[in-house]
Structure 1
């Protein structure tokens, strides 16, 4: 299944907007009819033509400030925005956007979980915070068969999440589908590749994965359906990236 680019990322999956409108012409075709002898004056009658408003795509991504926007690569045509509810909250919203010739078109928007303690500008392994920043999206995988991912998909029996989550919820199935977030990892490899360019103390293994009903250790989780939509929509030829952090940080 492939979703139309209405984003992102779906909004297309990807991307959001607002814009000005324009009214369609209404009334007499000439726009200035004058009643002649024996002709009833209808100039004050309501036009039968509906007023149409055309929404233009925004040139900037909603909610992102100049510092955050400057970090988005110029060749990125798909953007997934993960906006946390607050700095220390595990609740977030995921929105998909796609760049067109006229601006950013919004796609789907979904509820999500992030790390238990919220967000960090300097993520460290075990801090239970999700990293803030702009990261590439190049590799996917999971325990289950490829659902139709456009990104390279690595299936493995090692995508297993044992035990329970922070709220006692079972983690089984959380890694049925994953999408690696290129924080402290080597792009172009399986999400299971544990190479850590910044060092092991800076953590890693930050993914999008299937939501298990509670906060994560550092990943972003959405429903299984929405994970599939991400995999169906994100196109390596459009150089997708994720912009993630609490709303206040992203607005800078």
Structure 2
């Protein structure tokens, strides 16, 4: 039923859609414009039909080139920009929040949030021609080919030592991820103290990322809403946003 809801939502006009009622946690990210690489991030929770902030707002970084409409659970949009592989834009829209990944043996998290300790055999595939495109893949051997080594999640790069999956262009039980539409989108630790933009992810100070992960409850169907400020204000009432 969940995937049927998602497929039906893709056919609705953008103003006729709204957040699923079962989604009681929303991470809101707003940027000043489509071309801004800075974002303000706040976690909200819905109680008695009212959204209340669970965290203080924090500044993070987005793609170097800004934002572009992604493939999430919101109605399909393509203007002014549509997310493509390698465009250095963060996907805008509404996305399910998935599991956490990291190099640590354990992390502080909700007991229902999946956590994968990443090894040298864990890959995230960004090759559009692969049947595993935009999927986590664990090898039964140590990476040996250039392709395998390039896809390794563990690259001895501290900003990627902890991450939370953002469900952009995610494969469903019946469909594969759309080729060349963008892959490997996560929340992760920001680089150079926030001085560096990303290739499309949302990055946060480590303390704020850990706090966010600790509060995400999969039982509340958490979502990530990422939009430019003007778009957010335009859609806020229709989409029932915080």
| TM-score normalised over the length of structure 2 | 0.65
The answer for the alignment partner of 1:83 in structure 2 is 30
Q: Which string of whole-angstrom CA distances, capped at 9 and with x for unpartnered residues, describes residues 57-116 of structure 1? A: xxxxxxxxx957934211100000011122101001001100001511112211100000
**Residue pair 1:139, 1:153 contacting (<8 A) in 2 also:** yes
Measure how far apart 1:243 and its partner are: 0.3
The answer for the alignment partner of 2:101 in structure 1 is 141
Say which structure is richer in helix: 2
Measure how far apart 1:161 and its partner are: 4.7
Find out whether 1:115 has 2:58 as its counterpart: no
**Residue pair 2:171, 2:177 contacting (<8 A) in 1 also:** no
Structure 1: 4+ residue segments shifted above 4 A: 66-69
| TM-score normalised over the length of structure 1 | 0.63
Q: Give 5+ residue unaligned stretches, structure 2.
A: 1-12, 70-81, 120-151, 235-242
Find out whether 1:219 has 2:166 as its counterpart: no
Separation in 2, partners of 1:70, 1:226? 30
Find out whether 1:232 has 2:238 as its counterpart: no
RMSD value over aligned CA atoms? 2.2
- 1:175-214 equivalences under 5 Å are 175-186=160-171, 197-212=176-191, 213=194, 214=196
Measure how far apart 1:200 and its partner are: 2.5
**Residue pair 1:160, 1:173 contacting (<8 A) in 2 also:** no
Q: Which has the larger radius of gyration?
A: 1
